[in-house]
């Protein structure tokens, strides 16, 4: 599902109506639309930490990762404040899961106020950040969780599980989806799930940007193995290491997600020669999974959201088309 053109966009809790609807199609560089340019400028004011991305990328290409580490710390500090504020009244449980190599995977489980001992459906969330940035205390996920809680105020409450998956370049593919699968397997165990007050039969997988890529890989693997996932939500998914789609060319001027940074992120997350290669369990390109997997009843109902001015737009559209 592509939600475009946007009649209204949300920028850091501000709602900005378009003066005229953005044009659709790959022929027109949508980023040059005056209202989109205004939004780009406003986002840069609202999120000044995004500005060093190009400078950090230039340094990283020369082998200097100091700016990457600095940016991670600043983002964790900034996002953590908003994250903790959103979840201030939710019950937090810090989980530790064992990876196959014996190391520990951490995750943050939140139960909404008033949930008590009820076993709740759970959203298994993977944060964005180009596979190289951000943490389980991301502000994007927190905002989405709050909005979801408000939307289902009259329906059963939903728990939120945010995974601290490993990042590149220290941990390239398939470390992130392996962590995602570990988290899914952890909560699929009915007795363990019951002990942390979640319903193992009502698991929903979701993510934003790179996190959506992790979510898609985890859901594809789960479908292949017959593991039940209720639904899959992908917000502007980052799915294709080739980073050469039409939307990359059309939206190359964006400063919110600089193309150079996206390509560098892929180069360190998936530093392999063939972009269609398959690991033992995961497709780096989930849409290349066997048609009988993507089309099987085991594959969850999926919502894909793309943004017209996003370099990643075509990747989300291609994945949605593969699911059809």
- Annotate 40-96 with DSSP letters as a single string: HHHHHHH-GGGTTHHHHHHHHHTT--HHHHHHHHHHHHHHHHHHHHHTTTSEEEEEE
Average pLDDT over residues 3-13: 37
What does the block give as tokens for 195?
Answer: 């002990």
How sure is the predictor about 198, in pLDDT bands with cuts at 50, 70 and 90?
A: very high
CA 287 to chain centre: 16
Burial classification of residue 82, based on how many CB atoms lie within 10 Å of its CB (0-12 exposed, 13-18 middle, 19 or more buried): middle
The per-residue pLDDT for range 67-92, each reduced to its tens digit, is 888 888 888 888 888 899 989 999 99
pLDDT value of residue 62: 80
For residues 268 and 154, what is the distance between their CA atoms, to the nearest angstrom? 44
How sure is the predictor about 288, in pLDDT bands with cuts at 50, 70 and 90?
A: low
The per-residue pLDDT for range 233-270, each reduced to its tens digit, is 999 999 988 888 888 888 877 767 788 889 999 999 98
In 3D space, the residue among 87, 73, 134 whose CA is nearest the CA of residue 115 turns out to be 87
pLDDT value of residue 234: 93
Lowest-confidence pick of 39-53, 70-84, 151-165, 267-281: 39-53
pLDDT value of residue 7: 35
pLDDT value of residue 253: 72
Residue 195 in this model has a pLDDT that exceeds 90: yes
Average pLDDT over residues 128-153: 86
């Amino acid at each position: 599902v592509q939600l475009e053109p946007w009649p209204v966009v949300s920028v850091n809790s501000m709602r900005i109506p378009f003066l005229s609807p953005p044009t659709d199609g790959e022929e027109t560089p949508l980023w040059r639309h005056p209202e989109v340019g205004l939004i780009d400028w406003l986002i840069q004011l609202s999120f000044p930490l995004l500005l060093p991305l190009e400078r950090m990328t230039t340094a990283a290409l020369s082998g200097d990762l100091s700016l990457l580490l600095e940016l991670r710390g600043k983002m964790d500090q900034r996002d953590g404040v908003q994250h903790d504020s959103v979840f201030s009244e939710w019950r937090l449980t810090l989980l530790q899961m064992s990876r196959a190599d014996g190391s520990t995977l951490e995750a943050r489980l939140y139960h909404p106020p008033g949930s008590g001992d009820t076993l709740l459906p759970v959203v298994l969330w993977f944060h964005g950040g180009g596979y190289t940035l951000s943490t389980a205390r991301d502000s994007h996920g927190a905002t989405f969780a709050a909005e979801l809680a408000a939307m289902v105020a009259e329906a059963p409450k939903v728990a939120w599980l945010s995974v601290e998956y490993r990042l590149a370049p220290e941990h390239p593919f398939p470390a992130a989806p392996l962590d995602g699968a570990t988290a899914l397997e952890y909560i699929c165990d009915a007795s363990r799930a019951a002990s942390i007050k979640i319903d193992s039969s009502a698991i929903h997988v979701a993510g934003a940007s790179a996190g959506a890529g992790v979510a898609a890989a985890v859901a594809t693997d789960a479908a292949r193995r017959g593991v039940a996932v209720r639904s899959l939500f992908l917000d502007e998914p980052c799915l294709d290491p080739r980073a050469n789609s039409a939307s990359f060319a059309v939206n190359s001027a964006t400063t919110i997600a600089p193309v150079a940074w996206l390509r560098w992120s892929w180069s360190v997350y998936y530093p392999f020669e063939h972009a269609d290669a398959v690991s033992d369990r995961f497709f780096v390109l989930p849409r290349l999974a066997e048609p009988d997997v993507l089309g099987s009843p085991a594959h969850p109902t999926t919502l894909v959201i793309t943004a017209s001015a996003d370099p990643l737009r075509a990747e989300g559209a291609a994945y949605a088309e593969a699911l059809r």
